[in-house]
């Protein structure tokens, strides 16, 4: 998926007439890092890719959408969920095109040791989730908790936040974000 992410980023950037240097300046991510991502030599963490896309601006879900679906579609088979992450973290999104939608619903899975990256994430809206299995370390601003199956969280997502699986088994959870801004 590294190559796909890099190719897609380059395609979107060039379609918008944006140079790597300009994207680096507006996103706060080093030009060399963007170059490595586009060349497929660097697999960005979720937080790193989010920072780059914020400079476009484009959400993670918009970045990974291949085609736009009918807005009135109601049912989605497991294999039709849209993957919007990579590198030890899986975010399966219900629906591909969330334009004019009020909620983003995800089934997330963090492999042991995997997380959203070194940099905290911030975005518009509110976010909540419930852990189905495994353990998840959640940091919001200056508060950190390790959640287990059945535990949950809810916070304003304009606060810096990070997620990481500190356990030895995969961690699965269901999350929602409103509005879809992640």
pLDDT digits (tens, 9 = 90+) for 102-138: 999 999 999 999 999 989 999 999 999 999 999 999 9
Lookup: tokens for 8: 């897609």
Query: φ and ψ at 180, to 5 degrees?
Result: -65, 105
- Over residues 161-181, the pLDDT tens digits come to 999 999 999 999 999 999 987
pTM as predicted: 0.68
Other CB atoms within 10 Å distance of the CB of residue 54: 18
What is the CA 87 to chain-centroid distance, rounded?
11
Q: Is 9 helix (H, G, I), strand (E, B) or coil?
A: helix
Question: CATH number of the domain at 64-178, please?
Answer: 2.60.120.10
Return the domain boundaries, the chain. Answer: 2-63, 64-178
Lookup: tokens for 65: 């959408």
- Over residues 18-41, the pLDDT tens digits come to 889 999 999 999 999 999 999 999
Q: What is the second-level CATH architecture of the domain 2-63? A: Orthogonal Bundle (1.10)
């Amino acid at each position: 998926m590294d190559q796909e992410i890099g190719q897609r980023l380059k395609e979107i950037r060039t379609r918008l007439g944006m140079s790597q240097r300009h994207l680096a300046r507006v996103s706060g991510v080093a030009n060399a890092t963007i170059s490595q991502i586009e060349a497929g030599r660097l697999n960005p963490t979720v937080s790193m890719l989010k920072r780059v896309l914020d400079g476009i601006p484009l959400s993670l879900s918009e970045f990974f959408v291949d085609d736009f679906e009918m807005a009135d579609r109601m049912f989605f088979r497991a294999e039709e969920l849209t993957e919007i992450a990579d590198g030890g973290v899986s975010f399966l999104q219900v629906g591909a095109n969330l334009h004019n939608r009020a909620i983003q619903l995800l089934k997330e899975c963090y492999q042991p040791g995997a997380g959203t990256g070194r940099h905290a994430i911030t975005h518009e809206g509110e976010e909540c989730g419930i852990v189905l299995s495994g353990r998840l370390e959640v940091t919001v601003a200056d508060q950190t908790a390790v959640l287990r199956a059945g535990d949950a969280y809810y916070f304003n997502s304009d606060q810096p936040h990070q997620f990481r699986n500190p356990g030895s088994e995969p961690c699965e959870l269901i999350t929602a974000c409103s509005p879809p801004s992640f």
